[in-house]
Chain A
Amino acid sequence: MAKTWKLIRIMVKMQLSLVGKSTNEKLGYVFLGIFAIPASLFILYVINGLISSMYGVLAPSGNESVILGLLFVITSILFVFISVGTILSSFYFAEDVESFVALPFQPYQIILGKSAVPFLTLYLTNLVILAPSLVICGLHSHAGIVYYLYAFIIWLLTPVIPFVVTAVLLMFVMRFLNLSKNKDRIKVFAGLLTFVFAIGINIVIRLNSSETNPGSNLAHLLAEQNGLLQLTTKFYPPAYFSSISLTDPMSMAGAGYFLFTFALAIVAILFMMTTGQKLYFKGVLGLSGGTKKTVSPAKMSKKIQKKNFLYSSWVREMKIMLRTPTFFTQIIVQSLLLPVLFVIILVMDTSGSIQGISAVVNSWQGKTIILAMVGFTVLVLGINPAAISSVSRDGKSWFNHLYMPVRAESVMLSKILASFFINFLSLLVLFIMVCLLKLPIMLTVIWIVLSLLISWLTSIIGTILDLYTPNLHWTDEREVFKGRFIGLLALAVEVIIFAPLILILWRVDGFGGIWMTTMILFAALSLLIFISNRILKTMIEKHFYSLFSS
């Protein structure tokens, strides 16, 4: 046990230690902490509203235990979703997996060590969602000290079962489906899963927000279909046990269910250890291998083709972004998330507001539409994760650009082209949105031209910022994005440039008419691209060759 405890402590220390992290990253965590305060207050406000209105509807009929049941089911589902990614990366994809396998530890000990950090991260969500919800429920039911004591212990235990279920399922999958050979593809799939999850949550919210009071709406639904909740909690009995023990903590049944919940968590941990002991090593071993495909000489010969350097380098950038799981999720999925969400919001609105929005937008002056669309496009394309990582992505391989007989400008141009192309994908999705809004064709064409210019400009600005302050000394690709505020900085620069321009064109009546506005925006964007090109050139001269030695 002492050995296991030591292993857990070492693993937590290695993953959470701030030693060797840059000042920027440390500052990043401080800012994140500061930002978390208003964010949690907002979540608290929403939860309070939801629970209060549900309580108002359900308490008179004595059905308030449904709220707790639903709460435990929802948080547990959330924990499962969060755990998939963290468990996969900690158990199977972390760099240190093989080094621990070689040490004289039992598989269950490694499993416990590897679980520590993913498990602890669940408590962040737990703290933000479940803790305030339990307190709010307690306040509504005027609960006594025993409720809060039970609630605290149940709060501590709630993440255990979802975590164990996810871990055991993943261990089975990794052991028997032999997915380990497609390590990168699984990671990309996990990234896509978060994308789908984010969109799914949005859809649920959209479906629920058409009424003025979402909480009471949901409560009515539950009261009418009480069987549905029972059915849900039946599939996940721990939620039922926890909710009963908290609804009536003073009774024998309450105490009994509480003890049962406690015992269940312990059994779950033992179950995970036993499964891990049997399955973990079998899933891990052979992870470092890869797929082998033989290609006929004729096919191989076809693959060997001379290409222009710029094209070749652009293809290389694109392949690295598509094939590196972290880059895929952080760059491609992130870029597409916002545009896809907007399209879904428009498509999902069953209340006919798409026609409403379309009518409102179309009733504006042409000038206003163009300005609104430009502002919107700047916000959507502003962060441009491909551009702000264009230099950092190369990491320690940066030196390759230095000994190869290639002009620095060509290397940087291929990087800008790659981020322009990723932006282009987002623009295609936005184009669907513009089509749904049924804008006049002329305005659509103007928007396309201006958007391409904006896309090019944001690609240059992001690249300049990354060239100025890159992170080349990473050991894990996630460090390219973690704790760096370069994305927000890029967006801030763009907002500072565009906000006054749009505001002036909007307010000053002298700049009336579609063509006048378009010409001014076109000229301004061309000038900005020219200036940023000059800045990029100077930056290349100053930094390109000295990055590696600094």
Chain B
Amino acid sequence: MIEIERVTKQFPGHTAVNDLSLTVPDGKIFGFLGPNGAGKSTTIKMMTGILPVETGRINVNGFDITKDPMKAKTTIGYVPDRSDIFLRLKGIEYLNFVADVYGVPTDVRREKIDYYTKQFSIYGALNDHILTYSHGMRQKIVVCGVLLHDPDVWILDEPLTGLDPKSSYTLKEIMREHATKGKTVFFSTHVLEVVEQLCDEVAIINNGQLDFIGNMADMKQQFKEDDNLEKVFLELTQNG
């Protein structure tokens, strides 16, 4: 579960997130939508401890990310929006490193690395340097790394960008499995079809403020029933 309470984030000259409050329950896939520069990535960076929370409070699985960061971070699996990291490591070295960070036992990591890298068709490339991977392959290796410690809260920043259709399908399946197990899946995206297919709940952020939170049915009801999500989204964020 993720609880965000009255969080504000200011950068010199502008407010990126303004008095944001929302709760993401367990067992749900939560879509975080918004136009470019709306404050999605800033919110995610505060949730994961990359940016400090100066005003307000963020709890991840009951642990305050500011007061109890180690416990909170242990329960999180984070897929950042940029996947060009640790380029000089081989795929297998990267996965071993991440598993060491989260203290995953050898037998568990063997089984998971085997399973997930085969699911995403990157098993054969594990002994190559990440530098030689395509954008999609880099994204996949990061996703595999995050899944090794079976996080209670899975946070993904634009996870589907650059993935081929099969990998995109696999990722969506794994996200669904994860939520079915009672875990939290929180992701930001621009792909509205994915939100429509996948999300149990949606929040729309615009200019750092929450414009909408609820399930898909609520959202459509609030507007004209026959409107598609694209129209609803454009209407909601028209001042963005």
Contact = CB atoms under 8 A, between A and B. Distances in A.
B52 interface: yes
Contacts of B48: 402-403
A404 B103 CA distance: 11
Given A405-B71, A405-B74, A548-B50, 8 more contacts: A303-B96, A303-B127, A305-B96, A319-B88, A397-B86, A402-B50, A404-B73, A405-B70
B180 interface: no
Given A403-B49, A405-B70, A306 B99 contact: yes
Contacts of B73: 403-405
Interface in B102-157: 102-106, 109-110, 113-114, 123-129, 131-132
Interface stretch (A103-111, A287-295, A489-497): A287-295
A306 to B, nearest CB: 4
Contact of A403 (B52, B71, B78): B78
Given A397-B85, A397-B86, A306 B105 contact: yes
Given A403-B78, A406-B101, A300 B127 contact: yes
Contacts of A2: none
A399 B92 contact: no
Given A304-B96, A309-B100, A404-B73, A293 B82 contact: no
B204 interface: no
B191 interface: no
A307 interface: yes
A324 interface: yes
A251 interface: no
Nearest to A549: B51
Given A295-B127, A306-B99, A301 B110 contact: yes
A404 B76 CA distance: 9
Nearest to A302: B110
B52 A545 contact: yes
Interface string A454-476: 00000000000000000000000
A319 B89 contact: yes
B37 to A, nearest CB: 17
Interface residues of A, number: 39
A36 B44 CA distance: 49
Nearest to B50: A402
A206 interface: no
A13 interface: no
Contact of A316 (B52, B89, B109): B89
A305 B173 CA distance: 28
Contacts of B92: 300, 303-304
A290 B88 CA distance: 12
A399 B100 contact: no
6 residue pairs, one from A and one from B, having the closest CB atoms: A290-B132, A405-B73, A312-B100, A403-B48, A405-B74, A323-B88
Interface residues of B, number: 45
Contact of B127 (A294, A301, A399, A545): A294
Interface string B67-96: 001110110101010100110110011011
Interface string B6-27: 0000000000000000000000
Nearest to A403: B48
Contacts of B76: 403
B223 interface: no
Nearest to A405: B73
Q: Which of B71, B88, B103 neighbours the largest number of chain A CB atoms within 10 Å of its CB?
A: B88
B169 interface: no
B95 to A, nearest CB: 8
Interface string A395-424: 011011011111100000000000000000
Contacts of B109: 304, 306
Interface string A264-279: 0000000000000000
Contacts of A225: none
A305 B104 CA distance: 10
A316 B128 contact: no
A308 interface: yes
A393 to B, nearest CB: 10
A291 B127 CA distance: 10
A291 B86 CA distance: 18
A396 B105 CA distance: 30
Contacts of B82: 396
5 contacts: A312-B101, A323-B88, A397-B85, A402-B49, A404-B102
A310 B105 CA distance: 16
Nearest to B113: A304
